[in-house]
């Protein structure tokens, strides 16, 4: 098995699918010759040619619209939106045109599109490069939302997303691209969409997280362990559809939970998790479920992002709060 | 699937005098308002039977519009955007293409997709908000009417790219209005088509008003056709009340596109005789004089005179076709009304290929 970081695993997933299915296309800004600003597609144009992997003019709405049109003609586009904030330019095509196509045509057409975008803070990037906009997507009917936390999941989930016949918003945390290496199998394998993963077992409190926050939660769990508190960590992996079953099963054991997200606190993934816990597991709870999240402000790029983002200390504090309730 | 190439060398572009190259542009015409041939060079190559078919479709479409207005007033049609006055652009542009070509309509462009093959009752179902309206039959190459102004421009661009990648000699056509030509998606689409040299026709029906906003307030450009210059594609302006000019221009654009010559922006000057929609009052923003002036350019009258002079059409033909259209509309609205209503459960199942658990659960609230 090979050792890959997340960006290599993502590239490998695309290479596997470009080889397997000639209808798979990759396009976006700078993804061709150079291979994207993070080199996620480096070498793919050389291997598969300019008709499979190509640069587009700089226009995100058109990237989305091109994908929708190509999708109706049997292609399976992987459309890269260079940075997360640029999806605002493409929202109609992503969240209306792609997400509603199956509904609008009564199933006659569908949008087998993956919209890949880097997101997430802590890398001192420019404004609107590092926001967490998954909340907008999970409230949009008709589009799936995936946020991998490690190279193995990233490859398996991306292959699942490319093969999915509905649109997928695939969010890749910038701070995970080259953070560490994992054992990643060569060739094909899939990680199912809509299945969470218990990445650490524990009986005292459940920490629910996704993306980079899984790793922040692990650090917090290490701290908690020093005080004899055993935290269970659930990596959601997919935000839409949400694997509430795994969460409920964990709560039956721990009876306490916190949800960690980088995004602003109000609405969003954590709020949805808590709403569903309320509906399905309230009698298993010994304490309110708390959120550890960014404050409801604009994301403060670069300057104070490290204090703005959830830290292990804030997670430890919240865990203790629910334990001491 | 990839047989074509995105960087195929361009073939020389045929020359049209009404192509935009400078500030001055004059709309391409074949017929004078009196139905006389004033530009025989642009006469499309059509048999008498084909000429009669074009007239048949225009008369049919006018009668369908008349009937739809009544159905709308009776609350039987849902949202409806009237088309009278635009039969030349709608019927002519679709007629100029083959059934293999792909039509991406705006919401007013029902006639094009019906003449391209969508059963009329499905068009009515779409207006009534029924999903079956969008279930385009296999082999009918159209998208559903688009509500977001300009979004379809990008879909046509993508579809055209698909044709090019597959090496198919097919063309995509998309429609918008003068208002739509101000949208960002319009510029993005044209620019992509220029960059990738795609087989697509951007057909703008400039009817003078974006709901109530007059064209004079829409742009500082000399014409909409001029916007092609910046995108590096062909642009021309035509008289949209002259169906022969429409057919000629679209046939030319399609031939160039099939030949690898890339995209064309066609601005057709036209007029909607009726309000924007059933809830709009055109007297608030248009003068009687202006409406009167445009009614003299009625595409049915102009083309009718041309055909009458050739002995190909008569008032009796018009009456017969109108009756036929009325009966067809009645039959199709009945079929639409008799179509089983949608259900929330069915709606839920149409969101994804495989309904996820949370949506499956939500069905229970509606059973």
Q: Where are the domains of chain B?
A: 23-341
The CB-side HSE value for A307 (13 A sphere, CA atoms) comes to: 2
The SS3 call for residue B103 is strand
pLDDT at position B81: 93
Q: Report chain A residues whose CB lies below 8 A from the CB of B159.
A: 69-70, 72-73
CB-based contact A106 B143, cutoff 8 Å: no
CB-CB under 8 Å, A142 with B166:
no
Mind telling me how many Å the CA of B360 is from chain A's nearest CA?
A: 11
Report helix, strand or coil for A200. Answer: strand
Q: Three-class SS string for B211-266?
A: CCEEHHHCCCCCCCCCHHHHHCCEEEEEECCCHHHHHHHHHHHHHHHHCCCCCEEE
Residue A304, pLDDT above cutoff 80: yes
Contact B347 A74 (CB under 8 A): no
Q: Given a cut of 80, is residue A91 above it in pLDDT?
A: yes
Between CA A277 and CA A293 the distance in angstroms is 18
Return the bridge partners of A171, or none. A117
What are phi and psi for residue B236, nearest 5 degrees? -145, 155
Distance between CA atoms of residues B252 and B137, nearest Å: 28
pLDDT at B367: 82
CA distance A105 to B164: 24
Separation between Cα atoms, residue B367 and residue A294, nearest integer Å: 40
| Cα distance between residue B311 and residue B313, in whole Å | 6
Task: Judge whether B344 is closer than 8 Å to chain A, CB to CB.
Answer: no
Residues of chain B neighbouring A67 (CB-CB closer than 8 A): 158
> Which one of B148, B154, B165 has the shortest CB-CB distance to A62?
B154
Residue of chain B whose Cα is closest to the Cα of A144: B352
> In B29-150, where does DSSP find H-type helix?
48-73, 87-95, 110-115, 120-127
User: Could you tell me which of B339, B349, B326, B348 has the C-alpha nearest to residue B125?
Assistant: B339
pLDDT tens digit string along A150-181? 999 999 999 999 999 999 999 999 999 999 99
Its CATH class, for the domain covering A2-184, is alpha beta
Please report, for chain A, the start and end positions of each structural domain, with discontinuous segments joined by +: 2-184, 197-324
**Burial A287-321, CB ≥16 within 10 A → b, else e:** eebbbbbbeeeebbbeeebeebbbebebbbebbee
Annotated active-site residue in A33, A129, A215, A284: A129
Inter-chain CB proximity A102 and B165 less than 8 Å: no
Of A51, A64, A108, the CB nearest to B2: A51
Is B143 in Cβ contact with A109 (below 8 Å)? yes
> Are A50 and B7 an interchain contact pair (Cβ–Cβ within 8 Å)?
yes
Cα–Cα distance, A129 to A32 (Å, whole number): 21
Q: What is the pLDDT of residue B3?
A: 57
pLDDT given for residue B25 in this prediction: 74
Coil, helix or strand for B79?
coil
Query: What residues in A contact B162, CB-CB < 8 Å?
Result: 69-70, 72-75
What does the pLDDT read at residue B6? 67
**pLDDT (0 to 100) of residue B11:** 34
Chain A within 8 Å of B167 (Cβ-Cβ)? Answer: no
| Burial (Cβ within 10 Å: 0-12, 13-18, ≥19) of residue B338 | exposed
Shortest Cα distance, chain A CAs vs residue B90, angstroms = 22
The DSSP H or E segment spanning B205 is: strand B200-206
Q: How far apart are CA B367 and CA B365, in angstroms?
A: 6
- CATH class of the domain whose range is B23-341: alpha beta
**DSSP assignment letter at A94:** I
Cis peptide before A241 (omega within 30 of 0): yes
Which one of the listed residues B108, B272, B274, B297 is annotated catalytic?
A: B272
* Complex-level ipTM: 0.96
Residue B101 at interface with chain A, using a CB cutoff of 8 Å: no
A114-119 vs A290-294, strand pairing mode: unpaired
Min distance A170 CA to chain B CA atoms (Å) = 17
Contact list, A57 vs chain B (CB under 8 Å) = 188, 191-192, 195
Alpha-carbon distance B292 to nearest alpha carbon in chain A (angstroms): 39
| Closest residue by Cα to residue A295 from A267, A274, A266 | A266
Topology at the third CATH level for domain A197-324: Rossmann fold (3.40.50)
Judge whether A129 counts as a catalytic residue.
yes
A231-278 confidence digits (pLDDT tens)? 999 999 999 999 999 999 999 999 999 999 999 999 999 999 999 999
To the nearest whole Å, the CA of A53 is away from the closest chain B CA by 11
Q: Is B199 on the interface with A (CB under 8 A)?
A: no
Per-residue pLDDT reduced to its tens digit, A33-88 = 999 999 999 999 999 999 999 999 999 999 999 999 999 999 999 999 999 999 99
Judging contacts by C-beta atoms under 8 Å, the chain A residues touching residue B158 are: 65-73
Which of B123, B134, B137 has the highest number of chain A CBs within 10 A, making it the mutation to test binding with A?
Answer: B134
Q: What is the mean pLDDT of residues A186-214?
A: 98
Domains A2-184 and A197-324 share a fold: yes
Where do we find the tokens 């949370």? B358
- Cβ–Cβ below 8 Å for A74 and B162: yes
Q: pLDDT tens, B154-202?
A: 999 999 999 999 999 999 999 999 999 999 999 999 999 999 999 999 9
Q: For chain B, how far is it from start to end, CA to CA, in angstroms? A: 44
Return the closest-CA partner of residue A167 out of A259, A64, A269. Answer: A64
User: Per residue in B227-247, pLDDT tens?
Assistant: 999 999 999 999 999 999 999
Residue in B276, B286, B302, B332 annotated catalytic: B276
The minimum CA-CA distance between B184 and chain A, rounded to whole Å, is: 8
Cα distance between residue A255 and residue A287, in whole Å:
8
Element (H, E) at A254: helix A244-254
> Who among B104, B159, B352 is closest to A73 (CB)?
B159
What DSSP letter does each residue of A119-188 carry, written as one string? E-SSS---TTSS---HHHHHTSTT-EEE---SHHHHHHHHHHHHH-SS-EEEEEEGGGTTT--EEE-SS-
Q: pLDDT tens, A115-146?
A: 999 999 999 999 999 999 999 999 999 999 99
**Collapsing DSSP states into helix, strand and coil, what is residue B81?**
coil
For chains A and B, what is the number of CB pairs under 8 angstroms? 144
Q: CA-CA distance, A243 to A125, in Å (whole number)?
A: 32
Which chain A residues touch B352 with a CB distance below 8 Å?
Answer: 102, 142, 144, 166
Q: What is the pLDDT of residue B278?
A: 84
| Below-50 pLDDT ranges, chain B | 1-2, 8-17
Kindly give the pairing relationship between strand A205-209 and strand A257-264. parallel
What pLDDT, on a 0 to 100 scale, did the predictor assign at position B20?
64
Give the start-end residues of each E strand in chain A.
Answer: 2-4, 24-28, 53-55, 76-80, 114-119, 144-146, 168-173, 182-184, 197-200, 205-209, 231-235, 238-240, 257-264, 290-294
Residue B177 confidence (pLDDT): 97
């Amino acid at each position: 098995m090979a050792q890959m970081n997340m960006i290599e695993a993502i590239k490998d997933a695309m290479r596997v699918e470009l080889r397997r299915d000639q209808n798979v296309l990759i396009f976006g800004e700078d993804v061709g010759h150079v291979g994207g600003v993070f080199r996620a597609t480096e070498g793919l144009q050389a291997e598969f040619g300019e008709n499979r992997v190509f640069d587009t003019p700089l226009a995100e709405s058109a990237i989305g619209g091109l994908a929708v049109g190509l999708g109706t003609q049997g292609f399976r586009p992987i459309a890269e939106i260079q940075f997360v904030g640029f999806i605002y330019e493409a929202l109609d095509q992503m969240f209306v045109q792609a997400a509603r196509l199956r509904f609008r045509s009564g199933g006659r057409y569908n949008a087998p599109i993956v919209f890949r975008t880097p997101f997430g803070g802590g890398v001192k990037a420019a404004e609107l490069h590092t926001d967490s906009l998954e909340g907008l997507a999970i409230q949009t009917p008709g589009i799936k939302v995936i946020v991998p936390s490690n190279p193995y999941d990233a490859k398996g989930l991306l292959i699942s997303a490319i093969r999915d016949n509905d649109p997928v918003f695939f969010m890749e945390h910038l701070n995970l691209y080259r953070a560490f290496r994992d054992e990643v199998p060569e060739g094909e394998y899939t990680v199912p969409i809509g299945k969470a993963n218990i990445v650490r077992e524990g009986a005292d409190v459940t920490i629910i997280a996704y993306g980079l926050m899984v790793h922040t939660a692990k650090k917090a769990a290490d701290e908690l362990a020093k005080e004899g508190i055993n935290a269970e960590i659930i990596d959601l992996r997919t935000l839409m559809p949400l694997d509430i079953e795994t969460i409920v099963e964990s709560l039956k054991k721990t009876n306490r939970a916190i949800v960690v997200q980088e995004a602003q606190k109000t609405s969003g993934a954590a709020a949805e998790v808590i709403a569903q816990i309320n509906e399905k597991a309230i009698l298993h709870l010994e304490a309110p479920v708390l959120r550890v999240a960014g404050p409801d402000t604009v994301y403060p790029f670069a300057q104070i992002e490290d204090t703005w983002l959830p830290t292990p200390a804030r997670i430890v504090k919240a865990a203790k709060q629910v334990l001491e309730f | 699937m990839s047989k074509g190439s995105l960087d195929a060398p361009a073939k020389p572009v045929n020359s049209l005098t009404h192509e935009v190259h400078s500030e001055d542009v004059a709309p391409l015409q074949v017929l004078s308002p009196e139905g006389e041939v004033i530009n025989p060079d642009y006469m499309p190559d059509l048999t008498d039977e084909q000429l009669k078919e074009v007239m048949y479709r225009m008369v049919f479409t006018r009668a369908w519009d008349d009937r739809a207005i009544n159905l709308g007033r009776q609350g039987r049609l849902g949202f409806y955007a009237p088309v009278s006055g635009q039969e030349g652009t709608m019927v002519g542009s679709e007629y100029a293409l083959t059934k293999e070509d792909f039509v991406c309509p705006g919401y007013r462009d029902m006639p094009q997709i019906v003449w391209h093959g969508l059963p009329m009752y499905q068009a009515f179902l779409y207006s009534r908000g029924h999903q079956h309206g969008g279930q385009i039959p296999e082999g009918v190459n159209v998208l559903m009417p688009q509500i977001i102004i300009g979004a379809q421009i990008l879909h046509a661009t993508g579809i055209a790219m698909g044709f090019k990648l597959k090496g198919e000699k097919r063309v995509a056509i998309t429609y918008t209005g003068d208002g739509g030509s101000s949208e960002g998606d319009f510029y993005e689409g044209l620019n992509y088509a220029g960059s990738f040299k795609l087989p697509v026709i951007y057909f703008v029906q400039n009817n003078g008003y974006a709901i109530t906003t007059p064209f004079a307030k829409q742009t500082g450009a000399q014409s909409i056709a001029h916007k092609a210059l910046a995108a590096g594609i062909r642009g021309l302006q035509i008289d949209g009340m002259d169906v022969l000019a429409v057919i000629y221009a679209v046939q030319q654009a399609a031939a160039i596109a099939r030949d690898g010559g890339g995209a064309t922006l066609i601005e057709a000057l036209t007029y909607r005789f009726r309000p924007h929609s059933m809830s709009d009052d055109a007297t608030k923003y248009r003068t009687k004089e202006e409406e009167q002036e445009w009614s003299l350019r009625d595409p049915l009258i102009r083309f009718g005179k041309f055909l009458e002079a050739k002995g190909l059409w008569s008032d009796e033909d018009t009456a017969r076709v109108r009756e036929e259209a009325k009966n067809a509309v009645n039959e199709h609205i009945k079929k639409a009304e008799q179509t089983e209503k949608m259900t929330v459960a069915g709606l839920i199942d149409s969101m994804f290929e495989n309904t996820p658990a949370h949506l499956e659960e939500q069905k229970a609230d509606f059973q």
